[in-house]
């Protein structure tokens, strides 16, 4: 008994000296296609962007293919009134503030859209742009007067006209910022039926002929609630007018309310945009730590899984956002007009997921419960893209089954708040085209794996259109590999299902 215990102890001590082999997780990427991703962005609004919008450093750092981050959507506030004085300050609620930043975004191929915080005060029940939730207003709720419904879309047209005169073609306009939130600042309340009435009877007045291509965005509710989106989708007239269903995510995770609101929107071919949220803006004395940055990555990932086609963060420049403010109380890393770690998190998605179509995987999250690892997958041209997030302290191997054979790849990884660890690129070696690839997954990391599809020997004409096979000479298996000439299809192949001339062929 004593001898056995000594031997067991020796084995245990030896095992401590051996390197631990990483656990292996298997991820299957399917051909099933979901939404196509329009892009990612942030807001050009008062506060951290002061002087309002005229400081163009944030957009220069963040927008376009030439930037390190690759944002392509910018949100602007449509102020309640405009007095015609281009030299007036922001406090006068003028529209010129966003113009310099908007011009740069448009020059770099981006999308700009405007959201009203309030229509003009004279159109409202409380006579002011203020929401009404204040002592000075006597808690009078500020709503759009019914006799002014017919003035609302002509007012939006005047905004489009002004921006066009300044050289900015606005791509979309929203109906209202947070119509369900009673505020003391600029705001306007709408019940869900108010929005239906407004859109159904008056949205035809949005001048799409003079401003071709302009799209209409639904009211952007505080928590992306269905009671503000579904009524617009159920009404035939409203559905024809609304192009984008939008909302914010305050108080509700992406895979709850947003996912529910996306059901009808997706059914009727509408885009789904998350147009405002801030993560860890409650921090008052420091920058977000690395775990909090990974939580932001998870939010982006879960929005994609919820059916989102456009994700727009809140401020561009804030210590909890993308560009440093220069305030010393947040630490030396918060240098003004310097990219912060959160920007590089966003770049994983903005640089690579924009323009792609999401594919389902065997590990797609379906609810808002927290997970140690998260995944999503996309296809864009000749690229298969897999996003993987690990919040644990243990590295592991990720074995990926892909729907098409790939010939090469690269691994983009972020592993910490330090600049050197925010944007590492490593090649993925693939000896021969394969549908099975094993990659490493570092602990506490955000990873983008980009694989190049083997086109030369594939029977797949266009992987963007699921199920359409190439009408090329030859016989192919379901991995897209050419296995025989068309002449051998009769009698020389083992039993099975093959692809010939773009069609499935059964050999018995």
CA atoms within 13 A on the CB side of 50: 6
pLDDT by residue (tens digit) across 445-487? Answer: 999 999 999 986 555 544 443 333 334 455 654 434 445 555 4
Q: Is 313 helix (H, G, I), strand (E, B) or coil?
A: strand
Domain of residue 403 covers 23-30+363-453
What values do phi and psi take at 415, rounded to 5?
-130, 5
What distance separates the 2 farthest-apart alpha carbons in the chain? 95
pLDDT by residue (tens digit) across 188-219? Answer: 999 999 999 999 999 999 999 999 999 999 99
The verdict on 42 and 65 lying in the same domain is yes
In a domain, 17, yes or no: no
In a domain, 11, yes or no: no
Domain boundary among 354, 376, 407: 354
pLDDT for 420 equals: 85
The verdict on 462 and 447 lying in the same domain is no
pLDDT for 15 equals: 43
What values do phi and psi take at 18, rounded to 5?
-85, 145
pLDDT by residue (tens digit) across 257-298? Answer: 999 999 999 999 999 999 999 999 999 999 999 999 999 999
- Between CA 70 and CA 167 the distance in angstroms is 23
The verdict on 444 and 473 lying in the same domain is no
Q: Are strands 172-174 and 215-217 parallel, antiparallel or unpaired?
A: parallel
pLDDT for 445 equals: 98
- Between CA 418 and CA 272 the distance in angstroms is 34
pLDDT by residue (tens digit) across 304-325? Answer: 999 999 999 999 999 999 999 9
The verdict on 424 and 499 lying in the same domain is no
The verdict on 479 and 438 lying in the same domain is no
How many CB atoms sit inside 10 A of residue 182's CB?
14
pLDDT by residue (tens digit) across 145-154? Answer: 999 999 999 9
Q: Is 4 helix (H, G, I), strand (E, B) or coil?
A: helix
The verdict on 273 and 318 lying in the same domain is yes
Percent with pLDDT over 90 in the chain: 74
In a domain, 209, yes or no: yes
The verdict on 276 and 210 lying in the same domain is yes
Into how many domains does the chain fold?
Answer: 3
**Cross-strand partners of 377:** 359, 386
pLDDT for 189 equals: 97
Q: Confidence band (pLDDT; 50, 70, 90) for 137?
A: confident
Q: Is the dihedral of CA 172, 176, 177, 179 positive or negative?
A: negative
CA atoms within 13 A on the CB side of 330: 21
Give the chain's end-to-end CA distance (angstroms, integer). 63
pLDDT by residue (tens digit) across 331-347? Answer: 999 999 999 999 999 99
In a domain, 442, yes or no: yes
Residue 163 · residue 212 · CB < 8 Å:
no
| DSSP letter (8 states) at residue 127 | S
- Between CA 258 and CA 262 the distance in angstroms is 6
The verdict on 227 and 294 lying in the same domain is yes
The verdict on 311 and 174 lying in the same domain is yes
- Interval 409-436 mean pLDDT: 94
In a domain, 12, yes or no: no
The verdict on 139 and 270 lying in the same domain is yes
| DSSP letter (8 states) at residue 254 | I
In a domain, 2, yes or no: no
């Amino acid at each position: 008994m004593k001898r056995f215990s000594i031997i067991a102890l020796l084995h245990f001590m030896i095992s401590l000296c051996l390197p631990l082999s990483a656990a292996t997780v298997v991820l299957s990427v399917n051909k099933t296609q979901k939404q196509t991703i329009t892009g990612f962005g942030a807001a050009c609004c008062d506060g951290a962007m002061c002087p309002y919008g005229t400081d163009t450093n944030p957009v220069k750092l963040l927008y376009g293919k030439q930037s390190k981050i690759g944002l392509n959507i910018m949100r602007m506030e449509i102020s309640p009134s405009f007095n015609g004085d281009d030299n007036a300050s922001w406090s006068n609620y003028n529209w010129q503030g966003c113009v310099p930043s908007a011009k740069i975004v448009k020059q770099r191929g981006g999308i700009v859209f405007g959201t009203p915080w309030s229509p003009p005060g004279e159109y409202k029940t409380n006579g002011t742009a203020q929401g009404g939730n204040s002592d000075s207003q006597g808690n009078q709720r500020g709503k759009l007067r019914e006799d002014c419904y017919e003035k609302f879309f002509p007012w939006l047209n005047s905004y489009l006209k002004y921006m066009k005169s300044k050289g900015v073609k606005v791509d979309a306009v929203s109906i209202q910022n947070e119509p369900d939130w009673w505020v003391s600042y600029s705001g306007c309340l709408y019940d869900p039926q108010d929005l239906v009435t407004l859109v159904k009877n008056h949205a035809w007045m949005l001048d799409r002929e003079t401003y071709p291509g302009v799209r209409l965005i639904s009211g952007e509710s505080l928590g992306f609630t269905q009671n503000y989106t579904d009524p617009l989708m159920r009404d035939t007239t409203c559905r024809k007018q609304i192009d984008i269903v939008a909302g914010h995510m305050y108080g509700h995770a992406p895979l709850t309310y947003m996912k529910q609101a996306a059901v009808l929107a997706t059914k009727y071919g509408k885009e789904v945009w998350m147009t405002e949220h801030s993560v860890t803006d409650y921090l008052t004395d420091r920058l977000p730590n690395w775990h909090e940055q990974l939580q932001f990555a998870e939010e982006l990932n879960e929005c994609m899984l919820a059916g989102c086609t456009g994700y727009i963060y809140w401020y561009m420049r804030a210590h909890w956002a993308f560009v440093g403010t220069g305030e010393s109380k947040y630490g030396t890393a918060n240098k003004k007009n310097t990219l912060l770690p959160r920007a590089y998190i966003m770049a994983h998605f903005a640089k690579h997921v924009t323009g792609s179509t999401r594919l389902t995987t065997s590990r797609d999250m379906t609810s808002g419960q927290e997970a140690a690892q998260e995944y999503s997958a996309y296809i864009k041209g000749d690229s298969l893209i897999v996003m993987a997030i690990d919040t644990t302290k243990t590295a592991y191997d990720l074995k990926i089954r892909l729907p098409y054979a790939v010939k090469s790849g690269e691994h983009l990884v972020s592993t910490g708040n330090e600049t050197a660890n925010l944007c590492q690129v490593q090649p993925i070696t693939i000896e021969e085209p394969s549908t099975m690839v094993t990659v490493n997954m570092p602990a506490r990391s955000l990873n983008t794996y980009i694989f190049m599809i083997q086109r030369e020997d594939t029977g797949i004409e266009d992987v963007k259109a699921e199920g359409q096979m190439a009408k090329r000479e030859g016989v192919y298996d379901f991995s897209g590999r050419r296995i025989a000439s068309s002449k051998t299809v009769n009698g020389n192949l083992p039993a099975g299902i093959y692809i010939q001339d773009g069609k499935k062929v059964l050999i018995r």
